Structure 1
Amino acid sequence: MALLITLAPLSGAAPPAAAGSWSWPLSPRPAVLRVFDPPDRPWLSGHRGVDLRAAYDGAPVTAPAAGKVSFVGFVVDRPVVTIDHGNGLRSSFEPVESTLRTGSAVGEGSVLGRALPGHCGRTPCIHWGVRRGDEYLNPLAFVMDLRPSILLPPVNPGSGLGGSG
């Protein structure tokens, strides 16, 4: 019998939220088309969020956690919705068309708007970013447990460690 152990992050920093405590912003659970790939320095290029496949153009985008709408509008040429979840956490979604207004309260699972085409070419998708203050965080850490796992060798039954011998 092998033993699987999940380790806590090695850094002393507190996790951004309980691992996996938020909901996915698309349903059904979306495929990740492009992963979080932050730059080494804040001014360099990188991918500061994740691209999630939508079931179809116009699919509803929902709030992954409760909060308050802090921005609805255009950034460059894309419609963006940003939710302030408290504790300095904000999540943003693009391209998402929304009728919500700044200051609107949203509950987990509330519809924020609908996914518009264009971000991933012909594939329907949204870009989801999460920030705490000015630091970009991996959004997947809020919907999945990303801590590393270690598979240990089987326990020797004669050792007195979990065996019957």
Structure 2
Amino acid sequence: MYALTTQIRYTLIALFSLGLLALAPVHAHNHSGENKEKKEYADIVDTAVAAGSFNTLVTAVEAAGLVDTLKGDGPFTVFAPTDEAFAAIPADDLEALLNDQEALTAVLTYHVVAGKVMAEDVVGLSSAETVQGQSLTIDSSDGVKVDGANVVKTDIKASNGVIHVIDTVLMPEM
């Protein structure tokens, strides 16, 4: 009788173990740290840093003291010039801009629109008011251009808004 009880016990343990092994992938999938229903995104600054093609923009945002603002709740829409766009500015002019916090802040906030404006919304606009106070001209007749800059990539989602990549640094009237 004891041998039968031990055999039943081992059989139950084996079945229980197999059941746990069978459920392990399901458990791992459901607790992988990624919420499938609502994907979490980094804020605009961290998203720009992670992209690797906005180093000059991030440096400028830091120099202007706008990091905390762009890490804030938002939502913001940022028309983000690439490093290549900043490289098109003569080095002396770029250096002067980076050293003039007031002018730099005006230029950077000219690239930001309050609210989350996705690409499908941008194409329906002819202008958008910037955080700086002036309006950007939007032309979608041949691709999308913002103040003459080509929008080369759209809808890079961030937790506090969206980034649209442009190929030129926009300059407000000063």
Flag whether TM exceeds 0.5 (same fold). Answer: no
Kindly name which structure, 1 or 2, has the bigger radius of gyration based on alpha carbons: 2
Name the structure, 1 or 2, with higher relative contact order (CA <8 Å, separation 6+).
Answer: 1
TM-score between both structures, scaled by the size of structure 2: 0.24
Looking at secondary structure, tell me which structure has more strand per residue: 1
TM-score between both structures, scaled by the size of structure 1: 0.24
Looking at secondary structure, tell me which structure has more helix per residue: 2
